[in-house]
Each structure stands twice: as structure tokens, then as C-alpha cells.
Structure 1
Amino acid sequence: MSKGTGLTTQQRWVLALTSLGSMVVALDSLVVATALTTIQEQLGASLADLEWTVNAYNLTFAVLMLSAAAAGDRWGRRRVFAGGFALFTLASAACALATSVDWLIAARAVQGVGAAVVMPLAMGLLGATFPPERRGWATGVFSSLTGLAVLSGPVVGGAITQGLDWHWVFWINVPVGLVLVPLTLKQIPESHGGNRRLDLVGAGLAAVALLGVVWALIRGPEVGWSTTEVLGSLVIGLIVGVAFVGWERRAPAPMLPLSLFKVRSFVAVNLAGLLLAAALIGTLFFLSQFVQVVLHDGPFAAGLRLLPWTATLFVIAPIAGRLVDRVGERPLVVLGLAAQGLGLLAVAALSANGLTYGELLAPMVIAGAGVSVAMTAAQSGAVAAVPGESVGVGSGVYGMTRQVGSVAGIAIAAAAFAWYGGYASPHEFERGFTAAMVIVGALSLAGAVAGAGLSPRAADRPSAMAMDRA
């Protein structure tokens, strides 16, 4: 063991490889954003085509995470993680080779399937490798890299598109996959979540239910919330969701043990994670545009302007991980989301009267520091709230709720933006931006309230779970 960090060689490999896989997957959720204009010109894509270039990835990512986590518990987390990243790598090559927008959208959907496997299994492998007293620190490192990848996506995509070509946004994943997959099979120990049969009926019902809800959230801003398509999709999703719960109650080997939802901390951390993701991605979606439309920066310069916000993740998340081990998740989730909410509401208040970049700096740092603390604590709480044999399922549920929250955050913020503003002029955009920032700020504060439902300290969680199960 290393005297400096107290990590075994095996723990170092697990932390490095799971963080790398998560970072690449997270980066691809937004790295394509600044390449969309070039893709539109070269492939003749319509506005709807460009939207689905982003949404196809998020959709399959969201609806398959739970099933992927269950598959990892059944067949081995290491094996399934490696297979998922191999699929992600092949799909990335297919994206880079796309000669039509339909081809690109289809490849992006397959990329999302691979991402849905990688993310929950990365957290599951991390939770299975590190003991509770070191798990918070490891999650902090994991979170800092994953969060930094998410928030740096636009600037990385802009730099690659401007310096090379939009195809390289996807080609860069290929050499990573060629290295990561064999190293994973060689260096990471196998772990399972219990020798249960795969619940194929439950997996199918969960996928259809989530597809219906997520489809409605994605399509609502585009075609209208009261349309037959959106309302019908939402109703189908909810009905199938009820059927899923009914099936899981009587299934001999349920994919999602409903007993997990008897644990207050598990419910609280998932609700807090959903609201955190909704606020975070909703903010990123509009803040990056604000810098370009109102402050008149280009895509690459806009990404650089966001660095005071994104850099806080890299600096603060590891510190937050150590604090989790000392004080537990609840105070950090509550204080972090409250700080993010206050920072975003400050942005809204300032933007209502005209906002310069200098005025934006302090609220950005406050919001970034808050989400860095809350993200680390919430991810640790998602793993700590469940017994060891259910780490994969627990992390899959948490990852799924975050993805659904991301879609919901953009949809809700976009609805507020469209109601009060638009793209006709910088002034009109600023009005809509103010409304969107009020919404994401309110979502953050709601997440802080949800986080209060976590157990006071990480050390209390096993006894709390035992009481809940008794």
C-alpha cells in the first residue's frame, strides 16, 4: 500500500479506469454541442435532426441504465463494464464515419446504449473495491473528473471542431477504448451483486416506461405539451411504470428490489440527484448560449468563459470527498445545493438589469462550488444507502434518475425561456435567460430540501437500513 494515499495497486487501477470510462462517457453527452453548426452544413441537417443528434444519446442512456446495472450484477460488473465500453467505442467510430444525419443519429443512439452500461457499472466497481471509510474520497476523485468532463464538453468540442474537424469529436474515443477495455479485463477484479436471474420482463417494462416519460420531456418543448404525441407518450410511460411496480412486487427475481425504497436515504438521495442534474444541465444549456448571444463570444471563447464555474469541480470535489468521510452526506448535499441555488438566483437577479461577464464571476464560482460539494456527496450517498450486494442496482437507479433529471431540466428551463423570451434579439434572449435561471435556481433549492431526508452521517446508514428493513 502507498503511504501517501493508503491505496493498493488494485484500488489505483479501479479508480483510474472507472474514472476514465465515466469521463469519456460524460464528455460525449455535451461535446457534440459546439459541432452542431458544422454538422448541419456538411450533412444538410434540419433543426430537428440536430436536436436528435443530442437527444438520441441521452434517451438510450436514460432508459437502459437500470437494466445495465442488473446485467452487471448478474454476469459480472467488470465483464459487462468492458463490453459496454467496447460497444461505446464501436459506436463512436460509426459516428465519425457517418455520411448522413440519419446514420449519425442511429450511431449516437447506440453510443447511448454503451454509455448506459459504463456509468452505473463504473460506480458499482468503485463501491465494491473501496471500503466505506475510503469510499467518499474515491467518489470525490471520480466525481471531479466526471463533472469536469460534463461541464467542459462545449469547450472541448469547440476546440476540436475548430482545430481539426467535427469527426474527431468521435474519433478521439477510439484509442481510449482500445486501451481501456483490455486493461479493465486485466487489472480490475470481478464482482457480482448476487446470483439472481435477469428479470427480462422487468427490464422491458422499465425501458418502455422510461422511454415514454423521457420522450415526452424531450418532445414537449418542440411540438407542444398538450399535443396527442406528448400526452399519449406520458400516459403510456406512467401506465407501464405502474405495471413495472406491480410486476416487481411479485417477480421471483426482481430487477429492482422495492425494499430499497423503504430506506429513507435511498429515496432522498435519488430525488436530490434528479433535481441536482436538472439544475446543472439546464444551467449549462442556457449559460453557454448566453455568453455567445448576449456577450457575443464564439463557441470556443464561450467555453473558456465558463472555466471559473467548471474549475471548481476539479478543485473542490476531492476535498468534498474527504469531508463526506468525516461528516456524512446530508449536510454537504443540503449546503451544496443551497449554494448552487443562491448562486443561480443571483445570476437571474443580475441578468434582469443587464449583466456583464465581471458580474457573472462571483455567482458562477458560488454555484460551481455548491454543485461540486453536492454532486460528490450525493454519489457517495447513492452507494452507501444500499447493502453491498445491491450496489450495482442502487448506482443504476441513481444514474437513471440523474439522466432523466438532465432531460427534465432542459425541458422545464426551455419552457420558461420560450414563455418570456426567445432568439429574436439579445434583449429578448436575456429576458428568457432570466426566467430560465429562476427555474434552475428553484430546482436547486428543492434539491436541498430533498437532501435533508438523508441520514445524518454515513456511519449511521447500516443501522438505519436495518431498522427500515425490520
Structure 2
Amino acid sequence: MTRNVLVLTAVLLSSLTVPLTITGAAVALPGVQSDLAADLAAAQWVVNGYNACFAGFLAFGGSLADLVGRRRMFAGGVALFCAGSLMCVLAGDIVLVNLARACAGVGAAAATATGASILAATFDGPARTRAFGALGIVLGVGLAFGPALSGLLVGVLDWRAVFAVPAVLSGAVLLLCPFLPRLPGTGEKRVDWAGGALFTAALVLVIVVLVEAPVLGFTSPVVAGGLLTAVGLGAGFVAVQRRAADPMVDLALLANRTFLAFSLAAGALMALLVPLLVYLPSYLIAVVGLSPGRAGAWLLMLTVPSIVLPVAGAAVARRSPALLVCGSVALSGAGAVLLVTVGPDSTPWGLAAPLLLIGAGAGLTTGVVDGLAVSSVRAEQAGTAAGLFNTARLTMETVVLAVVGTVLAVISGGRLAGPGFTTALHTVGVALGLLAVAAFVGSALLLREHRRGG
């Protein structure tokens, strides 16, 4: 086996753990809450803690790799993810599980931030194209079949199995890390410590406030003070970025209307998809009465479009990028509104329309909108644009996920079960539909203004 094959295998296996651990945690959530006797707010951190740490550290991890070296950062991230996943398997307390998930999120961010650059440094020409094509396929497969595999694992074993599989995969990646190219840090850029700390603190604080607000009360001084502090941290982050010699985020890119439109649409699509990946399995298990395995199988309608539709999306993008992104947001938004038809007696046929529409919107743009966003900036800005694009998408996804969790908790009375859960899910569907309308209008206006300006 050649060294290049080993490098590709390491990066692909590491990337596969990302969708598997996200979808796995969603299917495992009811079992975690029941087995560890956790209340809803504590159980939500199994998902929110991971996502917040992943989003908060992703851009910062890319700049930090320039200091310590990409192989070291990648290996360190994989090791931290492996350790966090193993802690989830062994932990007997919800606090330890949530701490482990936070560690896994930081580790996944570090590995993800450096994996693509390792592939770019290892392969060139057509080989690079094939390597990144394989990366897209692996991510799509993990997202598509993660819920079904996780449901099977929970049904046959228990919820701990969904964290054991990513731990085993990341352990295998660690064995391959010595074969990666050294790729030492260049030392050309300074690490934006202040920017990274302010951004991560602001994002995590927002998530903490949103998750804990139903318990503390929305009029609580703690909630109001937390939000004001988060706003202050965000303002400080913007100020630091404007003055930093090597900022974590190049705010000048936000003046590019086309880039902003693609980033907004991509963030909205993930904000429509991911909350359903997280909370719909709980609904199907607790209210519809499905086994975890069957719930995962039903979710294939939501996830398989991410494998089969990107080619069609790329064809549409060549003719009209605006039609692709705005049309995809409209499709997913229509599917979200149709969630009002979901109920305790739902069947696969009854769920087909909302799930397939939401999945189609995300699937048509999987990988395609990333390329459109990066192609909309100058070549020398491509790397920075990719980092900002992913950070914006993950941040929007993470915040909306926390909001959805809060809405579900408040309307269902803190119990994701019974008629209250159905009412809460219908409310979330309408709210996500309104989010899609806002994203559709915003993206369309930005793209129209760009064409006028051009």
C-alpha cells in the first residue's frame, strides 16, 4: 500500500466520524436521557456541546495548525476525539458524557481544519480532484446512512455503541498518522488568540443561555445578562478582527455580496436539516412508537438525497447559481412547513413529502454551494473564504439547533413525549419555514444586487 493511499485512508476515516457522531448522538439521545436519568436540558448538551465546540474551534484550529504543524494538529485532534468518544462509552453520569462530547467536538474541529490541507499537500492534478471527490462521497455516505446504522446499533446493543464505533475508527486513524507528511507550520501568520477566545466564548455563551433559559426563566437576570455578555464578546471579536495583523476571520469578505448570499443559503439549509436529524429520531421513537432501527431507516428519506442529488445540483449551478441556492432553500422550507402534518399515526408515506423536500434542498447543494462560495472570491482569498464559509454555516446551524431545542422544551413542558411533543414539532416546522423565507429573500436580494453592481 503506497503512502498516498494511507494518507487518503486516514483523512477519509477521520472525516467519516464527523457525520456518524452527529447522527449517532441524535438516535442515542432518548437512551442517554433514560439510562442516565437526565433532564432534557442536560441531555441536550450531548448534541449542543459537541456542535458548539466544533463550530467554535474550527476556524481557530486552522490558524493554530500554522504554528504547530498540520500533522501534529491533525493527530492531536484525532486523539482528543477518540478520547472523548471513549469517555462517552465508559461514563455513567450525564455530566461526564457532556464533558466528553465537548472534548470530542474540539478534537473533530482540529482534525477537520487540517484534513483537507493535508490532502491538498499530498495530491496534485487529477489525483487531488479524485481525492476530494472521495472526501465528498464519504461525508455524504456518513450523513445518509448514519441514522440507520446508529438505530441498528442502539437496537441491537445500546446507546453507548454509537460512540464506540467513531472511537474505533479514530483509533485506526491514529495508527496511520505516522504515515502523514510532516507539513511543519510555516510561521508566516500569527495565531489570533484573542479572536479565537472571543468567538468561542460568545458562541458557547449563546448556546448555554438558550439551552438553560427554559429552566432559569426567560425573564431571569441570568439569561438577560448572559445574552448581553455574548453581544459584548461578539462586538469585541469584530473589533479585534479589524485590528489584527492576521485575523481569524477576514471581515472584508462580508462585503462580497455573492459570497454572503451563498454563505447565508448554506447556513440556512443546514439549520433546516440538522435539527431534524437530532430531534426527529426522538419523536419517532417516543411518540410514533418506532424502534431505534426503524426510526433510523425512516430518516433515510431525509439523508439519502445528499448522495444522489449533488450531481444534478452541479448541473443547475452551471446554468444559474442563483436558481440552485434559492430554489434549494425554497424546497427545504416547504418541507419544513409540511411537518405540521406529522403525528402519532404517521407512516413512511405520510412523512415522505416533508422529509424528501428538506433532504432534496440540502442534497442539491451538498459540496456544490461550497465551491460556488469559494469561487466567488479572488484566488488568493480562497483559503480564508473557505474557513469563513464553514464557520458561518456551522455557527448558524449550531445556534438554530439550540433555539429549536429550547422551543421543543418549552412547548412540550420539558418532556419530549406525548401530545406536547407533537405540538412543539409543528411549531418548529413553521418557525423553520419562516427561517427559509428569510434566507430565500436575503439570498435573492444579495445576488440581484451583485448582478446590478456587476
The TM-score normalised by the length of structure 2 is 0.83
Question: How far, CA to CA, are the matches of 2:89 and 2:425 in structure 1?
Answer: 33
Residue 298 of structure 1 pairs with residue 291 of structure 2: yes
Residue 117 of structure 1 pairs with residue 82 of structure 2: no
Question: How far, CA to CA, are the matches of 2:244 and 2:392 in structure 1?
Answer: 23
* Structure 1, gaps ≥5 residues long: 1-8
* Structure 2, gaps ≥5 residues long: none
Given that residues 136 and 321 in structure 1 are in contact (C-alpha distance below 8 angstroms), is that contact kept between their aligned partners in structure 2? Answer: no
Q: Shift of the alpha carbon at 1:111?
A: 0.8
Residue 380 of structure 1 pairs with residue 380 of structure 2: no
Given that residues 276 and 375 in structure 1 are in contact (C-alpha distance below 8 angstroms), is that contact kept between their aligned partners in structure 2? Answer: no
Residue 407 of structure 1 pairs with residue 398 of structure 2: yes
1:2-21 to structure 2, matched below 5 A, reads 17-21=10-14
Question: How far, CA to CA, are the matches of 1:35 and 1:159 in structure 2?
Answer: 11
One-letter amino acid matched to 2:339: V
Alignment partner, residue 216 of structure 1: 209
1:91-137 deviations in Å (ceiling 9; x for gaps): 22233232433332222211111012123334555677788999998
Alignment partner, residue 197 of structure 1: 190
Given that residues 276 and 371 in structure 1 are in contact (C-alpha distance below 8 angstroms), is that contact kept between their aligned partners in structure 2? Answer: yes
Q: Shift of the alpha carbon at 1:225?
A: 3.2
Q: Shift of the alpha carbon at 1:278?
A: 1.5
Residue 332 of structure 1 pairs with residue 324 of structure 2: yes
Q: Shift of the alpha carbon at 1:371?
A: 1.0
Given that residues 210 and 406 in structure 2 are in contact (C-alpha distance below 8 angstroms), is that contact kept between their aligned partners in structure 1? Answer: no
- Of residues 339, 345, 353 in structure 2, which corresponds to 1:362? 353
Alignment partner, residue 442 of structure 1: 434
- Of residues 308, 320, 323 in structure 2, which corresponds to 1:315? 308
- Of residues 142, 145, 151 in structure 1, which corresponds to 2:138? 145
One-letter amino acid matched to 1:214: I
Question: How far, CA to CA, are the matches of 1:265 and 1:52 in structure 2?
Answer: 35
Residue 394 of structure 1 pairs with residue 391 of structure 2: no
1:181-260 to structure 2, matched below 5 A, reads 181-183=174-176, 186=179, 190=183, 195-260=188-253
With over 3 angstroms needed to count, the CA separation of the structure-2 counterparts of 1:275 and 1:229, relative to structure 1, is farther
With over 3 angstroms needed to count, the CA separation of the structure-2 counterparts of 1:48 and 1:213, relative to structure 1, is closer
Given that residues 65 and 400 in structure 1 are in contact (C-alpha distance below 8 angstroms), is that contact kept between their aligned partners in structure 2? Answer: yes
One-letter amino acid matched to 2:392: T
1:219-273 deviations in Å (ceiling 9; x for gaps): 3344333322222222111112111221222223322232222322332232222
Counting matched residue pairs gives: 451
One-letter amino acid matched to 2:97: L
Given that residues 210 and 402 in structure 2 are in contact (C-alpha distance below 8 angstroms), is that contact kept between their aligned partners in structure 1? Answer: yes
Question: How far, CA to CA, are the matches of 2:7 and 2:312 in structure 1?
Answer: 20
- Of residues 335, 345, 361 in structure 2, which corresponds to 1:343? 335
With over 3 angstroms needed to count, the CA separation of the structure-2 counterparts of 1:271 and 1:126, relative to structure 1, is farther
Moved more, 198-207 or 167-176: 167-176
Given that residues 206 and 399 in structure 2 are in contact (C-alpha distance below 8 angstroms), is that contact kept between their aligned partners in structure 1? Answer: no
Percent identity (aligned): 30
SS of residue paired to 1:29: helix
One-letter amino acid matched to 2:104: Q
Question: How far, CA to CA, are the matches of 1:263 and 1:135 in structure 2?
Answer: 28
Question: How far, CA to CA, are the matches of 1:79 and 1:303 in structure 2?
Answer: 36
SS of residue paired to 2:364: helix
1:371-426 deviations in Å (ceiling 9; x for gaps): 11123222223433455555454333333333332333234334555676665974
Alignment partner, residue 23 of structure 2: 30
With over 3 angstroms needed to count, the CA separation of the structure-2 counterparts of 1:442 and 1:202, relative to structure 1, is same
1:306-358 deviations in Å (ceiling 9; x for gaps): 2122221122235435665x34744322222211112222333x348985431
CA RMSD of aligned residues (A): 3.8
Question: How far, CA to CA, are the matches of 1:438 and 1:137 in structure 2?
Answer: 40
1:74-113 to structure 2, matched below 5 A, reads 74-113=67-106
Q: Shift of the alpha carbon at 1:439?
A: 1.5
Residue 284 of structure 1 pairs with residue 277 of structure 2: yes
One-letter amino acid matched to 1:371: A
Alignment partner, residue 53 of structure 1: 46
The TM-score normalised by the length of structure 1 is 0.81
SS of residue paired to 1:103: helix
Given that residues 35 and 166 in structure 1 are in contact (C-alpha distance below 8 angstroms), is that contact kept between their aligned partners in structure 2? Answer: yes
Moved more, 122-131 or 143-152: 122-131
- Of residues 256, 266, 276 in structure 2, which corresponds to 1:263? 256
Q: Shift of the alpha carbon at 1:436?
A: 1.3
